[in-house]
Amino acid sequence: VMTLVDALPQRDVLEMSDIRQWVGSVVDQYGEMAIWHAIRLNGFGGSEIGTLVRNLAGQRADFTSAHDIVEGKLMRRAPLETSGDMTRGHENEDSHSVKFQRKYGAYRDLEAFEALKKSQGSHSWMRYSPDDVVQMPMAPFVDDDGKMVIQPTPGENHRWLIDYKAPRSVDEGDEIAFQYACQLSQGAILCAENDIPISGMMLSQFDWANWRLKDDVFG
C-alpha cells in the first residue's frame, strides 16, 4: 500500500500523518483490499465523475460531493463508510453478470475487459474499472419513438460496455440516472482513446421485487 501511495501524482501534497492514519484504518478494515483502495487514489473513476460534473455545474450530487471526493484523494478521509447498497452490489455482481449473459447469449470479452482495466486516458486523472465488457448478438438502434433499444443480430456479435447496479428498488419507467450516464460515458471515452471499439453501452439494474433485469441502452 505504501509503495502505491508513494507513486501517487499528488504525493508531494500529502501529509505523512494523514497517510499513516489512512493506511492504518483501511488495512485494519479491509485487509488485502486496501491495495484496491490505494489504487483508486490515483485519479477519478467512473463512480466519481458524475458527482464532479454535477458540482461543476453548480448542482448537488446524490450521494457525495466533489469536496468529499478530493478529501479522499488527499487521504484526509478514509473510505470506511459502508452501506447495504454498496455491499449488495459488490456481492451480487457475479450472479448479476451470469443472469445478464444468459439473457442475451453474451460472454465476457476478456481481452477487451483487461485492456480497459489497464487503460490510460488523455487526462492523467481518468481511470475506469469496468463491470463488464461483453460480446453478444445484439446491436443498438433507434426505434420509431426516438428511443435507443437493442436489436438481435443472430450469428453476428457486437462488443458492449456494461455497468451492473443493484439499487433498493427499480421503476420500469425511470431513465438512466445522470451519475450512471456519466460513468458509462467515461468508460466509452477510455475505450475510444485506447482503440477498444464498442457498439453500445448498457446499464443493467437488478430488479429484486420482480427478479428480473431492467436493461437500458445508452449512447
Q: In tens digits, what is the pLDDT along the chain, a chain of 219 residues?
A: 999 999 999 999 999 999 999 999 999 998 998 998 999 999 999 889 999 999 998 988 877 899 999 999 999 999 887 666 667 777 888 999 999 999 999 999 999 999 999 888 899 899 898 999 999 999 999 888 888 889 999 999 999 999 999 988 888 888 888 889 999 999 999 999 999 999 999 999 999 999 999 999 987
**Among the listed residues 185, 175, 206, the one whose alpha carbon sits nearest the alpha carbon of residue 52:** 185
Other CB atoms within a 10 A radius of the CB of residue 109 amount to 21
- Cell output for 39: 489504487
Measured CA to CA, the distance from residue 138 to residue 105 in angstroms comes to 9
pTM above 0.85, yes or no: yes
- Cell output for 8: 501517487
Measured CA to CA, the distance from residue 93 to residue 87 in angstroms comes to 10
Q: Under the phi-then-psi rule, with left for phi > 0, alpha for psi from -120 to 50, and beta for the rest, what region is 165? A: beta
